[in-house]
Structure 1
Amino acid sequence: MKQFFNFLPMILFIFGLIFINIACFLINLIVGLVVTGLSLIVLAILIGSAEGGVTP
């Protein structure tokens, strides 16, 4: 159970990005695609830095 609480902030962050992306797609398709691309870049940077990778 303690391991779950270690990942809870990252899980909540991912769910937050998902809901922001859905809201942007409801506003406009182009805006949704742009926000999805930006959120994927942010996720790649976060996951890369969490694994000890080199961040740009």
Structure 2
Amino acid sequence: MDNKQKTTIADRSRININESYEVDYWSNKFGVSKDKLKATVQIVGTSVKAVENYLTK
């Protein structure tokens, strides 16, 4: 089970689309739908920077 109390830098630099709370957080942060976020992660990978760059083009 994912311990949400123990986070590391790696946790903040990656998006885990298998965790609903992360999908909720990142879709709200980037102002996109959950489906758009998941599709973007499928295209560019789980890096927050890569997702942000892709969504702000």
Fold conserved between structures, TM > 0.5: no
TM-score by length of 1: 0.31
TM-score by length of 2: 0.31
Which of the two has higher C-alpha Rg? 1
Normalized per residue, which structure has more helix?
Answer: 1
Q: Choose between structure 1 and 2 for higher RCO, CA contacts under 8 A separated by at least 6 residues.
A: 2
